[in-house]
């Protein structure tokens, strides 16, 4: 097994705890559901997709297909059910741990339901692990919930760094089951260990870290930056998929150069062993070449204006490299392609 790869599920202990996952989409089912099932939780997904809710409540299980260029195998996630978002508060009130994977734009629409769930806990503490592609997601969610209540001190808002890549599913990939999700083998979930207000839960492949800034920057300036460089060059050359772009020797060289510079900068910035950061960087490059994920250049490159923000993946990586006097040419070439795409 490679770095961060989940082993095939073995014996599961008796369920004694309940996790709520707000958002039953690809990350919720394809990532969080697996970690929670392996750890002995009952998992309750909260969603608005009635077909998905009905199917989860009918089957109480769903398949995950783990895919890479070397192998594919399927596992079954069990002990799951689902409720509509309108019934979220009751489930949140009785949860031992909560996750959000609803999408950045959805957070304002679910904050009131979360607030009501917290209110119904009658003072009981809860940690919310936020699995959204959003900088400072902890502060933003707390602020949104704060519009509806005074947030108690024992409610934790825990940032995470979601690295597992999950493709957009189509009918062919579903293979007759709308719950099936394809995922890559990587499944480690780093979280901000200092943000928990209650005991950190014993969830397999959850990686609490203090300080957490390295993982935030690693996700942005290695994973997201390298992905974006490959995507914008791929769009320029007419490639559909990221793996096709990475099969182009010139694009591969530029993406590798960009990731290498950023890895060196992160090593210096956070006093991390260079070989450790480089191992992760080259593992990412290998994962970008996973053709079974079907990840498109269009998806990775969309919303280019946001991705060109001063502290986001491209310009932020350049600033970090400049700080440590490291080469930025490859990242800047990616910025030029992003500007052309705009």
What residue spans define the domains of the chain? 17-207, 214-341
Compute the chain's Rg from CA coordinates: 20
- Please name the helix (run of DSSP H) or strand (run of DSSP E) that holds residue 111, with its range, or none: helix 107-120
The predicted model gives 50-62 an average pLDDT of 98
| C-alpha separations of 161 from 72, 92, 188, 241, 302 in Å | 25, 23, 9, 24, 20
Fold for 17-207, please state it. Rossmann fold (3.40.50)
d(CA 223, CA 74): 26
Task: Indicate the pLDDT class of residue 5, thresholds 50, 70 and 90.
Answer: low
Give the separation between CA 23 and CA 214, rounded to whole angstroms. Answer: 26
Write out pLDDT tens, residues 294-315: 899 999 999 999 999 999 999 9
DSSP 28: I
Q: Hey, is 212 helix, strand or coil?
A: coil
Cβ–Cβ under 8 Å, residues 154 and 121: no
What does the mean pLDDT of the chain come to? Answer: 94
Per-residue pLDDT tens digits for 175-234: 999 999 999 999 999 999 999 999 999 999 999 999 999 999 999 999 999 999 999 999
Q: Round to whole Å and give the CA distance between 247 and 37.
A: 36
Q: What is the reported pLDDT for 167?
A: 87
pLDDT confidence tier of residue 168, bands split at 50, 70 and 90: confident
Phi and psi, residue 4, nearest 5°: 75, 10
Contact status, residue 162 vs residue 169, Cβ threshold 8 Å? no
Please enumerate in sequence order all residues whose Cβ is within 8 A of that of 291, keeping only pairs 6 or more positions apart, or say none. 69, 241, 243
Is pLDDT above 70 for 7?
no
The Cα–Cα gap between 149 and 147 comes to 6
How confident is the model over 31-43, as pLDDT tens digits? 999 999 999 999 9
What does the longest C-alpha to C-alpha distance in the chain come to? 59
Per-residue tokens: 306: 């946001």
Nearest to 17 by CA among 96, 78, 82, 93: 96
Q: Write the class of the CATH domain 214-341.
A: mainly alpha
Token digits of residue 49? 């997709």
Output phi, psi for 199, to 5 deg.
-60, 135
Reduced to 3 states (helix: H, G, I; strand: E, B; else coil), residue 21 is: strand
Whether 136 has a pLDDT exceeding 90, the answer reads no
- Note the pLDDT of residue 282: 97
The answer to whether residue 1 scores a pLDDT higher than 90 is no
């Amino acid at each position: 097994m490679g770095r961060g790869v989940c082993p095939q599920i073995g014996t599961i202990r008796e369920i004694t705890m309940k996790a709520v996952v707000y958002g039953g989409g690809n990350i919720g089912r394809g990532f969080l559901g697996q970690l929670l099932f392996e750890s002995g939780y009952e998992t309750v997904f909260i969603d608005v997709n009635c077909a998905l809710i009905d199917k989860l409540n009918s089957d109480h299980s769903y398949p995950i297909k783990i895919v890479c260029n070397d192998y594919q195998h399927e596992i079954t996630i069990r002990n799951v059910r689902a409720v509509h978002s309108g019934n979220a508060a009751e489930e949140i009130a009785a949860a031992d741990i909560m996750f959000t994977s609803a999408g950045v734009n959805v957070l304002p629409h679910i904050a009131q339901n979360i607030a009501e769930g917290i209110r119904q806990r009658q003072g009981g503490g809860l940690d919310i692990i936020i699995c959204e592609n959003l900088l400072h997601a902890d502060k933003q969610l707390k602020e949104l919930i704060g519009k509806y209540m005074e947030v108690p001190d024992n409610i934790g808002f825990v940032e995470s760094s979601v690295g597992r890549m999950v493709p957009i599913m189509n009918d062919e990939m579903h293979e007759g089951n709308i719950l099936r999700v394809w995922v890559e083998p990587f499944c480690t979930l780093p979280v901000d260990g200092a943000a928990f207000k209650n005991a950190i839960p014993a969830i397999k492949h959850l990686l609490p870290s203090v300080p957490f800034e390295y993982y935030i920057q690693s996700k942005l300036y290695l994973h997201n930056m390298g992905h974006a460089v490959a995507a914008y060059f791929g769009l320029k050359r007419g490639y559909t998929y990221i793996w096709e772009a990475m099969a182009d020797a010139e694009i591969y060289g530029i993406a590798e150069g960009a990731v290498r510079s950023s890895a060196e900068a992160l090593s210096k910035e956070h006093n991390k062993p260079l070989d450790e950061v480089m191992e992760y960087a080259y593992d990412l490059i290998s994962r970008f070449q996973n053709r079974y994920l079907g990840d498109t250049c269009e998806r990775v490159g969309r919303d280019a204006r946001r991705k060109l923000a001063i502290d986001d993946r491209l310009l932020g990586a350049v600033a970090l490299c400049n700080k440590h006097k490291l080469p930025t040419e490859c990242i800047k070439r990616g910025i030029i392609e992003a500007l052309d795409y705009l």
